[in-house]
Amino acid sequence: MIVSQAALDAVIAHARGAAPAECCGVLIGSAGVVTEARSARNLDSDPDRFLIDPKDHIDARREARARRLEVVGFYHSHPHSAAIPSQTDIAEASYPDHLYLIVSLTGDQPDVQLYRFERWGFRGVPFELETVP
């Protein structure tokens, strides 16, 4: 799976800016490539959870479609835990075959992991993440 460095940098900056609360957003691209990350408002009042603002989600889909791209996934941060899907993440994932990027801020450097939510649940092992300029 290829993720542009700009998209990765945007996710990490968003996560750092929102900490200690979780942040969330949308991944935009095309088959096998994430070209950009678009931040979304987190509507959940609990700092350890996230809920993507539906308006931001719909706006991202419309804007992507207008540029012949698509929403290929979503991202959120784990400011206090590993970049592994939590039970809540798994229970609330509702877009089969989409990517789910999680950034953890628990170490000296951010840890970014990318998963695919398949019809029967999250893929057990994160994807190899390749960044391109």
Domain boundaries, the chain: 2-132
pTM across the whole model: 0.91
Residue-wise pLDDT for 82-131, tens only, equals 999 998 988 888 887 889 999 999 999 999 999 887 766 555 446 666 66
Q: In terms of CATH, what superfamily is 2-132?
A: Cytidine Deaminase, domain 2 (3.40.140.10)
CA-closest candidate to residue 35, choices 81, 87, 70:
70
Residue-wise pLDDT for 52-90, tens only, equals 999 999 999 999 999 999 999 999 999 999 999 998 988
Place of tokens 């398949």: 118
